[in-house]
């Protein structure tokens, strides 16, 4: 079952500049910079839903490709679920195209999987299960 929107991922060219912008402009508390694979990222906590700032460290990275194609901005919406595999199976039976048939662990050891935007009106959805 989908419980809530966990976070909204924002693709940015420069994480340092984006962190400073959100801190100085909106007085948001921005988490420390982290790295996972080719991604640099930080979170901004806004109550029950966070913003995740994402930067590629290589021109071939997924975020870099996204920015080259669409520009900076909303990359994905993450939905918190209580049983990610059950939700993936349910969505597949509904005809949705899954990017990940099986979940994998992210930087914070949560289980995640993505749904292809061709199935969801052009929006990349991430499912996330915190254990």
User: What pLDDT tens digit does each residue of the chain (131 aa) get?
Assistant: 999 999 999 999 999 999 999 999 999 999 999 999 999 999 999 999 999 999 999 999 999 999 999 999 999 999 999 999 999 999 999 999 999 999 999 999 999 999 999 999 999 999 999 97
**What pLDDT does residue 123 have?**
97
Please answer whether residues 126 and 112 qualify as being in contact, where contact means their C-beta atoms are separated by less than 8 angstroms. Answer: yes
Q: In angstroms, how far is the first alpha carbon of the chain from the final one? A: 15
d(CA 119, CA 98): 8
Length of the chain: 131
The pair of structure tokens assigned to 70 is 């669409």
User: What are the extents of the domains in the chain?
Assistant: 2-129
CATH 3.10.150.10 fits 2-129, yes or no: no
Q: What predicted TM-score, i.e. pTM, was given to this entire model?
A: 0.95
If you ran DSSP here, which 8-state letter would residue 25 be given?
Answer: H
């Amino acid at each position: 079952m989908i419980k809530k929107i966990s976070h909204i991922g924002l693709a940015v060219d420069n994480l340092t500049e984006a962190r400073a912008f959100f801190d100085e402009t909106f007085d948001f508390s921005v988490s420390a910079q982290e790295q996972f694979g080719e991604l640099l990222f930080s979170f901004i906590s806004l109550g029950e839903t966070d913003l995740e700032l994402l930067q590629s460290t290589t021109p071939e990275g997924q975020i870099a490709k996204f920015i080259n194609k669409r520009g900076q901005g909303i990359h994905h919406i993450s939905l918190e679920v209580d049983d990610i595999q059950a939700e993936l199976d349910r969505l597949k039976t509904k005809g949705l195209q899954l990017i990940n048939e099986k979940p994998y662990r992210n930087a914070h050891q949560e289980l995640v999987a993505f749904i292809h935007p061709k199935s969801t009106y052009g929006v990349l959805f991430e499912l996330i299960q915190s254990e």
